[in-house]
Structure 1
C-alpha cells in the first residue's frame, strides 16, 4: 500500500512497507527522489533503525547476550501502519513485536511523520521507549536525491565554511583514517571518485544544511539541524546522491560489542520519547 500527501506545490508518496518515501514531485511533475532501479540501488529513502551502518560481525550484546542485526537495522524491511492522515501530512507507526524482540530486546514504537510545507517536505522521527529499562538505539535517514543531468554538473554547498573531515570505511566499519573534502569557493564539485571507498561519513559537522547545486543553480536543500552526523553516498555511474542525516554510524574495529557502549549510540530512558526531524526543500 501507498499513501500520497500534497499541497499547492508538492506531492509526496510513501510506501507503507518501511514507511519509505518513494516520490517527491513539484507541480511541474519533476521527480526529486531516485526511482529505485535495482541495477544501481533498489531503494529510495529507507529508515535506518535501530542501528545506523554495520555492526562488527553483524553482532552486538545486551547484558552479555548476543544478538544479530543486519546493516542499518530492520525497520526499513517492515510494514508500518498509517495512524494519521491529512491532505498534507501522514504519520506511520511501527511497534515492537515478537519478531523484533528476537533481534532487539526492547519494547518500542517508531513513528515517521511526513508533512508538506510550501516547497519543503519535513520528515520527523519519534522513538518511544515503552519498556521499563534504558533503550540504546541509533536512527538515520537515507534519501536518494535524483540527479537528472550528468553527475559532474552538480556540486555541494555546505552551510558553513569548515574543514569537511570525514571518516573512511574499512570492511564497512569506521576506521581511524580521515580525509577532508576539498572545496573551491566553499563548493564541492561532484564526481564518482569521491565515493570509490563507499560513503563519506562525517561524525560531526558545523553546518546544519547542505545545498545541491545543478549547473551552479540551487536545486535542493537538505536541512539536518537535529542530527549530529551525516553520510553522503552514491553508486558508481548512478544518477542519484544520498544525503543521510544520522544519529550514530557503523562500529569501529575496536568496538566492544556492547550496544550501550557503541560510539554514537543514543540512550533513551524508560517511558521517554525521542524526537528529531530533517527536511528536503525544493529550490
Structure 2
C-alpha cells in the first residue's frame, strides 16, 4: 500500500512494503527518485536493516550459533504498519516476529518517519532494543536518484575539500583494495567506469553532504550528519545514482564472522533507543 504525504513544494510516496520511498516530486513535476525499472535495478530506496551490505557466506556467528542473513537484511521485504499519518508526515513501524528471530535473535522495533518541510524530505530512523540482552545491528539508506540525459552530464559535489579514497568490493565483500577518485575542487564527475567493481565504499569522510549536479547546476542534496559511512553506486548504463548513508558496511573477506566484531556494528543495551536521520533537499529551480 502506498502512503502519500505532501506540502506546498513536494509530494512523497512511501510503500508500506519495506517503508520504501518510491517517489519524490516537486510541483513542477520533477521526479527525484529512480523509477525502479528491473532492467537495471528494481528498487527505489530500500531500508537496510539489521545489516548493511553482504555477510561472508551470508551468515554470522552469535553466541556460538550460526545465523543466515541475505544482503542488506530483511527490513526492505517486511510489511510496515503505518502508526501515524498527517498531511506532511508519516510514521512506519516494524517489529521482531518469530520469522525474524530465526535469522536475527534480537527483539527489536524499527520506526521510520518521513517528514516534508518546504523543499526538504527528512527521514528519521529509531531502533529500540525490546529484549533483555545487548542488541547488535547496522542500519542504512539506499536512495536512488533519477538522472535524465547523459550520465556524464552529472557530478557529485562534496561538502568539503578532501582526498577521496574508496574501498572496493570483491564478490560483494569489502576488499583491501582502494581507489583514489579523480575529483577537483570537491567535485567528482560521474562515469560508469567508477563502478566497474560495484559500489564505492567510504569508511570515513569529512563531508556530511553531497550535492548531485547536472552540468554544474545543483539538483538535489543529501545530508547525513548521523552516518559515518557512505556508499555510492550505480550499474552500467542505468539512469540513476545511489547516495547511501550507512551505519556499517559489508564484511571483509578475512572476517571471522563473529557478529559482535563486525566493522561498523552498533550495540544497544536492553531498553536503549538509537536514533539517526538524513535528508533529501530538492534544488531544481
Task: Give TM-score scaled by structure 1 length.
Answer: 0.99
Show the counterpart of 1:176: 176
Show the counterpart of 1:253: 253
Show the counterpart of 2:166: 166
Whether 1:117 aligns to 2:117 is yes
Distance in 1 between the 2:59 and 2:262 partners?
Answer: 12
The 5-angstrom pairing of residues 55-134 of structure 1 reads 55-134=55-134
Whether 1:193 aligns to 2:221 is no
Show the counterpart of 2:220: 220
Residue 253 of structure 1 and its aligned partner are, at CA, apart by: 1.4
Q: In the alignment, is the contact (CA less than 8 A) between 2:159 and 2:186 conserved in 1? A: no
Show the counterpart of 1:31: 31
Q: Any idea what SS the aligned residue of 1:194 has? A: helix
After TM superposition, the structure 1 stretch with the greater mean CA deviation from structure 2, 55-64 or 176-185, is 176-185
Residue 149 of structure 1 and its aligned partner are, at CA, apart by: 2.0
4+ runs of 1 displaced by more than 3 Å?
none
Whether 1:278 aligns to 2:260 is no
Q: Any idea what SS the aligned residue of 1:126 has? A: strand
Question: 5+ unaligned residues in a row in structure 1: which ranges?
Answer: none
Whether 1:142 aligns to 2:142 is yes
Distance in 1 between the 2:261 and 2:184 partners?
Answer: 39
Show the counterpart of 2:2: 2
Residue 257 of structure 1 and its aligned partner are, at CA, apart by: 1.0
Residue 187 of structure 1 and its aligned partner are, at CA, apart by: 1.1
Distance in 1 between the 2:40 and 2:243 partners?
Answer: 16
Question: 5+ unaligned residues in a row in structure 2: which ranges?
Answer: none
Show the counterpart of 2:53: 53
Task: Give TM-score scaled by structure 2 length.
Answer: 0.98
RMSD: 0.6
Distance in 1 between the 2:29 and 2:256 partners?
Answer: 49
Count how many residue pairs are aligned between Structure 1 and Structure 2: 283
Residue 186 of structure 1 and its aligned partner are, at CA, apart by: 2.2
Residue 176 of structure 1 and its aligned partner are, at CA, apart by: 1.0
